[in-house]
Each structure stands twice: as structure tokens, then as C-alpha cells.
């Protein structure tokens, strides 16, 4: 399988059982730490269809911190079922699916529940909500052009501009 040749793997022979057990190293993207649980919410507020850019950035940071970006980007593709990596990928994929759906509003979560992989969910969300909206873009350009400091202090004015820009 491509992508796994340089990955650190721990294997131990268990002579009493007559088989070799297989485990992935803690630095492997398929490794799920004992403290990782399905109940973890990776973002402060669930994504409800508004401010996708902020939600996406928050999720990317959280998944990176948990070493799971490769699951949603496809850099660590789904192994074949016969691979010793498959059970680890399956568990990790399920955990990332739960983390993503926990960070979505109920309606949006229900719309992605039919996908089988975290990568498919991530791609669907990016396709649906990550597209630029032409009319929103024009509206924001007008707001930016008409914004003036007026009686606001510089910090308030800057924050308003930064919010529009973001």
C-alpha cells in the first residue's frame, strides 16, 4: 500500500498465542489516543451554515493538533480490508466522523451522515459551504468601501474592517 512504507510500526511476536500482533506507533495518523473520545467537541460553536471559513479553520487546527489531517485530506488513504492497518484506519475514521458531526448543527450533521469516510464528509462540506457567493462578495466590497472610522476609536474601526475582510 502506498503511503505506509515510511510509517513507524510496532510489531510484537506473541509466541504463546502463535500469532504476531500489530499496532501503530503513537505518531501514526491512524493512532487513536486513549484520551480521545467521541464526545469531544473540537469547535466552540457548532457550524450552522454561517461563517464557514472560521469553522473550517478551527477544525483544521484541532485535527492537526490531534494528528488527523491526513484522514480528511487523503494523505493517509483507506487501506484495503486485508491490510493490518485497516482496523486502525476504520477506528480513526469513525472517530474523526464523530468529531466533525459533533461540530455541526443537527440539520447539517444529518445531511452528511450517509457518507462512509471523514474525507467524503469534509469534501462535501467544503463543496457546499466553501464556495464563494458572488452576491455576498459584492455586498462585502460595498460595505468595505463605505466603512469609515467616524467617531470610532482606531481599535474598533480596525476590528470592523478586519471582520468584513475576514
CA–CA gap between residue 59 and residue 63 (Å, rounded): 6
* Residue that is written with C-alpha cell 450517509 in the block: 114
pLDDT at 3: 45
CA–CA gap between residue 118 and residue 70 (Å, rounded): 10
pLDDT tens-digit series, residues 73-119? 999 999 999 999 999 999 999 999 999 999 999 999 999 999 999 99
Rounded to 10 degrees, the C-alpha dihedral 42/76/82/88 comes to: -30
Q: Give the residue among 5, 3, 104, 6 at the shortest CA–CA distance from 50.
A: 104
Domain layout of the chain by residue ranges: 29-131, 134-166
Would you say residue 16 has pLDDT above 50? Answer: no
10 vs 143 pLDDT, higher one:
143
CA–CA gap between residue 157 and residue 65 (Å, rounded): 33
Strands (DSSP E) found in the chain:
9-14, 19-24
Over its C-alpha atoms, the chain yields an Rg (Å, rounded) of 21
0.85 cut: is pTM over it? Answer: no
Q: What is the 3-state secondary structure (H, E, C) of 66-97?
A: CCCHHHHHCCCCCCCCCCCCHHHHHHHHHHHH
pLDDT at 20: 65
86 vs 139 pLDDT, higher one:
86
pLDDT at 104: 95
pLDDT at 133: 61
pLDDT tens-digit series, residues 18-64? 556 788 889 999 999 988 888 888 888 899 998 898 999 999 999 99
CA–CA gap between residue 127 and residue 96 (Å, rounded): 19
Q: Give the residue among 152, 137, 27, 24 at the shortest CA–CA distance from 89.
A: 24
CA–CA gap between residue 155 and residue 87 (Å, rounded): 52
Amino acid at each position: 500500500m502506498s503511503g505506509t512504507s515510511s510509517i513507524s510500526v510496532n510489531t510484537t511476536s506473541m509466541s504463546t498465542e502463535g500469532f504476531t500482533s500489530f499496532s501503530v506507533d503513537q505518531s501514526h495518523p491512524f493512532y487513536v489516543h486513549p484520551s480521545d473520545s467521541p464526545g469531544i467537541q473540537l469547535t466552540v460553536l457548532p457550524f450552522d451554515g454561517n461563517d464557514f471559513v472560521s469553522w473550517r479553520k478551527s477544525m483544521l487546527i484541532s485535527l492537526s493538533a490531534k494528528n488527523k489531517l491526513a484522514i480528511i485530506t487523503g494523505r493517509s488513504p483507506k487501506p484495503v480490508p486485508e491490510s493490518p492497518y485497516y482496523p486502525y484506519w476504520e477506528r480513526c475514521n469513525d472517530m474523526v466522523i464523530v468529531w466533525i458531526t459533533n461540530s455541526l448543527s443537527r440539520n447539517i450533521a444529518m445531511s452528511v451522515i450517509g457518507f462512509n469516510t471523514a474525507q467524503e464528509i469534509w469534501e462535501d462540506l467544503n463543496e457546499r459551504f466553501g464556495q464563494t457567493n458572488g452576491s455576498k462578495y459584492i455586498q462585502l466590497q460595498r460595505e468595505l468601501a463605505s466603512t469609515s472610522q467616524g467617531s470610532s476609536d482606531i481599535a474598533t474601526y480596525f476590528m470592523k474592517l478586519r471582520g468584513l475582510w475576514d
